[in-house]
Amino acid sequence: MSPELFQRMAQSIVDGDSDLSVALANEAVAAGIDPIEAISSGFVVGVNQVGEAFSCGDAFLPELVMAGEAMKAAVQALEPEMEKRGSERQMLGKVVLATVEGDIHEIGKSLVGTMLSASGFQVYDLGVDVATAKIIGKVKEVNANIVAMSALLTTTMVKQREVIEALEKAGMRPAVKVMVGGAPVTRDWVQKIGADGYSEDAIGAVNVAKQLMASSH
């Protein structure tokens, strides 16, 4: 659509320039570009570049932090447009959403939350670094249909299993579907921990959540 704009978006994240990333997000909205496309063809390209440089030792924590901030600011600027485009009226189900304990990566989780609420789900976003007991408590409190957990670290993925085990222990597992996601999550992992659904991205997460609701009726 607009390769030059997408390249500038990616570069704004690489440079950790939040003012520019927000300005470019607003430019995309004004130009009628789908915000999801702006994220996946523009901003994510930049954040992945920084992530790769970080894992090779070519970038350091401050760059990772700045890129994360610029990415978060851009996604927040696009949120109203995502909600506007997706707004469906009926309530499809209740989702308790969290990034698991020990993990503070929030951008992908929040994107999934925005897409789910724009698609008609009632989303209870507990934030990041959320303890298992807090997730279980919220599921009970709101009588949730789905627990959605994000994990970005190989060291924190295990908490997704811990939540499933806690649901089983509390006798709540039959009544609640579990979906998981995040960069290190694979289909094999999903099977291993006995989750019900998984998606690689935020749009896929909406489809999975809809399927899970259909299968629970």
Question: Quick one: which of 30, 61, 91, 214 contacts ligand B1M (CB under 6 A)?
Answer: 61
Tokens, residue 17: 């320039």
Site for ligand B1M in 107-126 (CB under 6 A): 107-109, 111-112
Piece of 50-58, 76-84, 118-126, 186-194 that binds ligand B1M (CB under 6 A): 50-58
How many angstroms separate the CA atoms of 180 and 34, rounded? 25
Residues 148-167 that bind ligand B1M (CB under 6 A): 148-150, 152-154
> Residue from 3, 55, 57, 90 that binds ligand B1M (CB under 6 A)?
55
Q: Which of 94, 175, 93, 178 is nearest to 132 (CA)?
A: 178
Given the complex with ligand B1M, which of 32 and 62 has the nearer CB atom?
A: 62
Secondary structure E strands in 3-158:
93-99, 121-125, 146-150
Among 59, 71, 190, 206, binds ligand B1M (CB under 6 A): 71
- Give the number of other CB atoms < 10 A from CB of residue 215: 10
Phi, psi of 98 (to 5 degrees): -160, 155
Determine the Cα–Cα distance for residues 8 and 131; give it in Å rounded to an integer.
38
In the region spanning residues 188 to 217, those forming contacts with ligand B1M, defined by CB under 6 A, are 199, 201-202, 205
Among 26-34, 59-67, 86-94, 130-138, the segment contacting ligand B1M (CB under 6 A): 59-67
Minimum Å gap between C-beta 49 and ligand B1M is: 8
135 vs 129, 181, 185, 188, CA distance in Å?
11, 16, 19, 24
Q: Does 42 bind ligand B1M (CB under 6 A)?
A: no
- CA distance readout (Å), 57 to 64, 69, 86, 173: 11, 20, 39, 42
- In this structure, what token pair is assigned to residue 107? 């951008």
Q: Which of 81, 103, 125, 196 binds ligand B1M (CB under 6 A)?
A: 103
* Residue 63: CA count within 13 A, CB half-sphere: 18
Instruction: Name the residue whose CB lies closest to ligand B1M.
Output: 108
Q: How far is the CB of 35 from ligand B1M (least distance, A)?
A: 12
Residues interacting with ligand B1M, by CB under 6 A? Answer: 44, 47-48, 50-51, 54-55, 61, 64-65, 67-68, 71-72, 102-109, 111-112, 148-150, 152-154, 179-184, 199, 201-202, 205
